[in-house]
Structure 1
Amino acid sequence: MTQYVVGVDFGTLSGRAVVVRVSDGAEVATAVHEYRHGAVERALPATGETLPPHWALQMPDDWIGVLRHAVPSAVAAAGIDPGSVIGIATDFTACTFLPVLADGTPLCAVLPAEKHAYPKLWKHHAAQGQADRINALAASRGEPWISRYGGKLSSEWQLAKALQVLEEAPEVYARAERFIEAADWIVWRLAGVETRNACTAGYKGVFQDGSYPSKDFLQSLHTEFGDWVSKVDGPLWPLGGRAGSLTAEAAEWTGLPAGIAVAVGNVDAHVTAPAAKAVEPGQLVAIMGTSTCHVMSGAELADVPGMCGVVRDGIIPGLWGFEAGQSGVGDIFGWFVDTLLQGGDSHERLTELAAAQRPGQHGLVALDWHNGNRSVLVDHGLSGVIVGQTLATRPEDVYRALVEATAFGTRTIVEALEGAGVAVTEFIAAGGLLKNAFLMQVYADVLRRPISIIGSEQGPALGSAMHAAVAAGAYPDIRAAAEAMGKVQRDVYVPDASAADVYDRLYAEYTTLHDYFGRGGNDVLHRLRALREEVSR
């Protein structure tokens, strides 16, 4: 009998399931389930309470909906016998983090009127103040782990979000018996056992060299924070490991056989690397969507300024996994079209008009910080900037400048890696923005390097399916699975030398603005944010 696996990718607004043939990675069928609540950023559904600025939550029931609807729909569309499915694996946005009771019940089910009881989505940026204090204390004490995060922990990561809960809702923090990444919580619901995966523990939870930050450090942040590790600690499972077997309840949701392998949880970006056959040092994968995450493996440990994390075995066993990212990419384009233009022009039309221009023709340069800066400044108190607008500036001019700004942000990350001695030998793109050929060519020109592309529209789900095959024993490890099931097209976009020359000049202007507004030359962006929050109270 032909064997199949199912990969499930939980995104920001929806979840998708893909049925994959184990022998060759063929994607037989896909189904998508939109979250009923989407990303909760304005008001708490249970009460209508207006959320403060920079909040972003999700609803666990929406995630279960993906298992109930997308998985059986994909299997039905594939036209296969569910009994031929040997494993299931999942990936999640991260850090998406929630407080739960000891049995895994989300605290929001117990305290529906308390906003801190809900999962904080990856783009919840309201804990920047806590992140600033964590970073200052780590620097003053010389904590060795801080260098693994480029010198700064992001407000998106576990420590900042948890400290915000403790300080703003101590009763919620006390009631929470465990805090857990959504990537691990969904596996708990599938397999009936609590597991912690090595990827999120390292990148999002500050687990380095066998331990979390010390109790003394945590208590120095807050006297009641000393018990933090007891709420997250547990054995770490390797990526591709078998977390357990599908429970009868989860089998009823998904329509899959009870007892099949359930793989350990993983992060959407990191799981995409082997799907693109990026299993060797130097192969950088940029997962480009609402945000962009840059992941690559290296043979040696290196401290890279502004990295989201450097974790042993974090992507590929036996290698150091490097992660960087941009908190807004596709979201920025969407904001411009939907909010500023109020839907008056489509992405397709703006792309067509922008592509007709020559580099530099619009006379603009922008900073891609509309959702803060994840790398290399690690500062979500920053905001977007556009310079050079005149009364002659047209919507397509701004649209192109925003596309170019995100490419400049990626170049900053690549240069930070290479400046620290981590060679980038290949740039591979994945994610929804691959559909925009104009955007991809801009990136090739700005980076001055060829761009390969993943051979799948569902890279994270394919990567999860590959880990499911490993967990089920079909392949000995993820390298073998990648060789058989991964997909990549080499050097699809190559740089145009004349365009690259102009972009070098624009990038120099971007760098000047980047350092002026982001490294202390002028703190106006922080002052404006503080004023907004003051008058919004």
Structure 2
Amino acid sequence: MEKYSIGIDFGTLSARAVLVNVKNGKILSESEFIYPHGVIEESMPDGTLLPEGFSLQHPEDYLDALKKVIPELLKNTGVERSQIVGIGTDFTSSTMLSVLENGTPLCFLPEYKNNPFAYAILWKHHASQKAADRINLIARKTNQPWLDNFGGKISSEWGIPKLLQIYQENREIYDRMSVWIEAADWIVWMLTGIESHSYSTMEFKTIWDQQTGFPTKDFFRKVEAGFEEKVIDKLGKNFLPVAAKAGGLTAKMAEMTGLSEGTPVSTGMVDAYASLPAVGIDQPGKMLLIVGTSVCEILVEQEGRNIPGLCGKAKDGILPGFFAHEGAQSAGGDILAWFVNHCCSEEYVRESRQRKVSRHQILTEKAEKMEPGESGLIALDWWNGNNCILDDMYLSGCILGMTLSTRSEDIYRALMESIAFGTRVNVEQFVKYGVRINEVLASGGICKKNPLMMQIYADVLNIPISVSKVSQGPALGSAMFGTVAAGKDGGGYNTIFEAVTNMKAPIEKVYYPIPQHVQIYNCLYEEYRKLHDYFGLGSNRVMYHLHDMKEKVRR
């Protein structure tokens, strides 16, 4: 009898699940659940407007996803519950939840249904930038040894700055919460009934180290008086390695999903990191490029190098025995979606309706007829701030070179190029600090759907881009981790490396650099770096002034 594993990827807008053959990695069925509450950025249920930078979700959507996607996978395939050896899950990160001792989110309580801090605080919530600035300031002043492990700067997207923001702005929620937990770990808690926290989330995002633990209470006291008293207790207990068995499916969850009670569940994973084994990366020298709503560059190495400006390192954070690293860009596909939704010319909107194709397709078709440099434009990809290497969410996007003859496709292509330039900054930082990159493997929706974007990437990076065949990389990777939670005796594998050998997705297409394009993009990239440094390193603070003015007027 064939054995299968289930992987569930909780993304920004929806949860996507796959049912996978353990023997060969073949995906038998996929299911998706779009979150009814979506991303909450404008107002709360009672109509109260949210401040600038807030980005929330309703955790009820995550539980509803489980009720829908798992039964649908079983129904679509006819696979019996006894054939499922394990479950793996991954999540956007840092998406954080304040919960009671039993894991109940505070927003489930009637008294907090209109309190924004009681909801899931999404990864792209940037209202905690001031809290991050304070943490970084004190860390530098007190020469904290752990700061270098995180690229020299803590991001506002991570868990501790968001917790500090709650402490500073809503003490009632802070005092009421028992545990401050990554959604990646919370969903595992809900499945198993056991609180656990994965090395994947704790080492990358929560300033925790296997040897030294959290920063000292004295550090937290210097950040904010009183913050040190309960902060470490609220960060939870039971830290587990990746691919470990976090527990078995509870009776309640078994009834909800149609699976067997006790089915092994692996520790939580960060969504992007789960894609690493899915595309077949199991050693140094290979970089995973994920281009979706945001962009990630992920790899492993053996020396444990500190790389300034990148998202830090995590020992055993993705693959046991290796240090994992992440470069990140806060917006990728989101930038293109913004342009299509708000700036696309009416002529192309009509064409899209007439041909019954997306505006993205219309603009891509027109942009791919252009040569590099033809638009006369260059852009900075900071529509959602800069994650790496500047780690500054006050920065904003800009486009240079527009004239009265500039067309929609000119801008669309310039935005594509800016995203690739942002990735090149991170790649060059990896290489500068001794991390070799011999091969780039790409995954994510845009990688499969937009050949022009991948060709631009190959030309800008001057390296072949191998696009994985899998369309649901995180979900496949999570399913692979689920097989390791089961172990060989349970019908799975004893190591993630064995799972990679047998279950990795094949390469669908390779994009090779075009020499004449490479030459032009090298010139354009020089201009991009000038703008990057001019606005990003303090020579011109106009972006900060505009941000402050916007905040003042909104208040």
Q: Fold-level match, TM-score > 0.5? A: yes
**What's the counterpart of residue 460 of structure 2?**
446
**What's the counterpart of residue 225 of structure 1?**
227
Q: Please identify, of 221-230 and 350-359, the stretch whose mean Cα deviation from structure 2 is larger.
A: 221-230
**What's the counterpart of residue 241 of structure 1?**
244
Contact 1:179–1:231 at 8 Å: present in 2 too? yes
The Cα of 1:8 is off from its aligned counterpart by 0.4
CA distance in 2, matches of 1:342, 1:464: 41
The Cα of 1:51 is off from its aligned counterpart by 0.7
Aligned match for 1:398, one of 411, 416, 432: 411
**What's the counterpart of residue 338 of structure 2?**
335
Matched, 1:28 2:46: no
Q: Please identify, of 394-403 and 140-149, the stretch whose mean Cα deviation from structure 2 is larger.
A: 140-149
CA distance in 2, matches of 1:78, 1:526: 54
Distance 1:80 1:490, change over 3 A: closer
The Cα of 1:455 is off from its aligned counterpart by 2.2
Contact 1:181–1:200 at 8 Å: present in 2 too? yes
Deviations 1:399-424 (A, max 9, x none): 00000000000000000000011111
The Cα of 1:490 is off from its aligned counterpart by 7.7
CA distance in 1, matches of 2:5, 2:37: 28
**What's the counterpart of residue 186 of structure 1?**
187
Contact 2:195–2:238 at 8 Å: present in 1 too? no
Contact 1:191–1:244 at 8 Å: present in 2 too? yes
Contact 2:458–2:465 at 8 Å: present in 1 too? yes
CA distance in 1, matches of 2:281, 2:66: 28
Contact 1:3–1:85 at 8 Å: present in 2 too? yes
- TM-score under structure 1 length normalisation: 0.98
**What's the counterpart of residue 39 of structure 2?**
39
1:425 match: secondary structure = strand
Matched, 1:10 2:10: yes
**What's the counterpart of residue 382 of structure 2?**
369
CA distance in 2, matches of 1:77, 1:526: 52
CA distance in 2, matches of 1:301, 1:472: 29
The Cα of 1:181 is off from its aligned counterpart by 0.4
**What's the counterpart of residue 134 of structure 2?**
133
CA distance in 1, matches of 2:285, 2:534: 31
The Cα of 1:156 is off from its aligned counterpart by 0.3
Letter in 1 for 2:252: E
CA distance in 2, matches of 1:146, 1:131: 13
CA distance in 2, matches of 1:79, 1:454: 28
CA distance in 2, matches of 1:238, 1:3: 24
Output aligned runs, 1:51-450, within 5 Å.
51-110=50-109, 111-208=112-209, 209-226=211-228, 227-341=230-344, 344=349, 346-434=359-447, 435-450=449-464
Distance 1:293 1:469, change over 3 A: same
Distance 1:342 1:219, change over 3 A: farther
Contact 2:180–2:236 at 8 Å: present in 1 too? no
The Cα of 1:83 is off from its aligned counterpart by 2.1
Aligned match for 1:494, one of 492, 512, 521: 512
The Cα of 1:236 is off from its aligned counterpart by 1.4
- Give unpaired runs (5+ residues) of structure 1: none
Runs of 4 or more above 3 Å deviation: none
CA distance in 1, matches of 2:457, 2:290: 13
2:426 match: secondary structure = helix
CA distance in 2, matches of 1:331, 1:252: 37
CA distance in 1, matches of 2:34, 2:139: 40
Aligned-residue CA RMSD (Å): 1.1
CA distance in 1, matches of 2:72, 2:457: 36
Letter in 1 for 2:34: E
Letter in 2 for 1:203: F
Q: Please identify, of 498-507 and 229-238, the stretch whose mean Cα deviation from structure 2 is larger.
A: 229-238
2:269 match: secondary structure = coil
- Give unpaired runs (5+ residues) of structure 2: 353-358
- TM-score under structure 2 length normalisation: 0.95
The Cα of 1:491 is off from its aligned counterpart by 6.8
Contact 2:274–2:478 at 8 Å: present in 1 too? yes
**Count of matched residue pairs:** 536
Distance 1:476 1:499, change over 3 A: same
Q: Please identify, of 382-391 and 208-217, the stretch whose mean Cα deviation from structure 2 is larger.
A: 208-217
Contact 2:469–2:508 at 8 Å: present in 1 too? no
Aligned match for 1:512, one of 530, 536, 542: 530
Contact 1:152–1:378 at 8 Å: present in 2 too? yes
The Cα of 1:176 is off from its aligned counterpart by 0.8
CA distance in 1, matches of 2:435, 2:144: 23
Letter in 1 for 2:465: I
CA distance in 1, matches of 2:469, 2:462: 22
Q: Please identify, of 232-241 and 260-269, the stretch whose mean Cα deviation from structure 2 is larger.
A: 232-241
Letter in 1 for 2:464: P
CA distance in 1, matches of 2:151, 2:506: 30
The Cα of 1:136 is off from its aligned counterpart by 1.1
CA distance in 2, matches of 1:530, 1:252: 51
Contact 1:451–1:490 at 8 Å: present in 2 too? no
Contact 1:452–1:488 at 8 Å: present in 2 too? no
